[in-house]
Amino acid sequence: MLLGWLFIHPVALPDHWRLWMLLPLLACVAAVYRATRARRAAEMPKATVVTFVNILLGMAALALAFYGAHWLVLRVG
Amino acid sequence: MTKSRTDTTASSVAAGVLSWLLPGAGHYWLGHRGLAIVCFVAITFPYWVGLAFGGVLSSVNPRTNRWLFLAEMGVGGYTLGSLVVSQSVERNVLASAGLSHVPDAQRSPAEYAAYLDAATRAKYMSYYPAADVAQIYLATAGLLNLLVILDAVSRAQTGLPTFQRELAAARTEAG
């Protein structure tokens, strides 16, 4: 009953949560990506953490680059 | 030889279909229990979190959001069940709005507004920012499960994940 209510009536998401919701999704992406490359589950934890950090740093670098480009366009334009 | 190939094909299809119905089920059936649990958790979590933030009416609906629905179909078992619930909720909204079908937003904007109003009043609709997060979570879960399905098929055929199979083939060619 509670589960039905939960998925039929959407849960509200506070504004400041939006960015933090990236972290669990990245963890899931890293875990699945590594699961499709590992022979056994025991190989996964370290590789998953490394992939998670790589994706996070890559996305942060992209965000900084776009922020810099945006700042430049506003400054020059 | 022919029998072996038939067996491999049958187990590949079975692993793929099981993974499509329930993330990780194909791996579990092939004996990769640990990987099965990882796949199950890493796909089930974003799918149901996305559905909780988006609501079943707007998140699993081929008429109002067909591209998202297509991505979600990567997790067939969850999406087909959610679709049944979504259609039931949609019938309730249509009845309360006095409509027979979901109106086209471009051709009948007034009727579409009435449909949205009825869905919003019944608290079935999700809006920014929850709707954005929901769509990203659901689409990612569906597309990630496609990777899991391909991996299960690869393991059923050779016992190796796709990447390891490529490495093995490269080693054979080099050697």
pLDDT digits (tens, 9 = 90+) for A42-74: 888 999 999 999 999 999 999 999 999 999 999
pLDDT (0 to 100) of residue B1: 43
Read off the DSSP letter of residue B123.
Answer: T
CB A7 within 8 A of CB B56: yes
B99 has pLDDT over 90: no
Contacts of B83 (CB under 8 A, 6+ apart): B60, B62
Residue with tokens 């022919």: B2
Number of residues that this document lists for chain A: 77
Interface probe for A, chosen from B30, B53, B135 (most Cβ of A below 10 Å), is: B53
Report long-range pairs for A68-76 (Cβ below 8 Å, ≥24 apart).
none
Point out the residue among B39, B52, B137 whose CB comes nearest to the CB of A32: B39
pLDDT for residue A64: 96
Confidence (pLDDT) at B27: 94
Q: Cβ contact (<8 Å) for B134 and A10?
A: yes
CB contact under 8 A, A42 and B53: no
What is the interface pTM, i.e. ipTM, of the complex?
Answer: 0.87
Measured between CB atoms, does B75 come within 8 Å of chain A? no
Q: Distance (Å) from the C-alpha of residue B87 to the closest C-alpha of chain A?
A: 11
What pLDDT shows up at residue A57? 97
Out of B45, B54, B89, name the one closest to residue A28 (CB): B45
Region B160-175 average pLDDT: 71
Return the structure tokens found at B125: 């609709």
Residue B76 has pLDDT above 60, yes or no: yes
Q: State the average pLDDT over residues B111-127.
A: 87
Count the Cβ atoms, other than its own, within 10 Å of residue B160: 16
Q: Report yes or no: B129 at the A interface, CB cutoff 8 Å.
A: yes
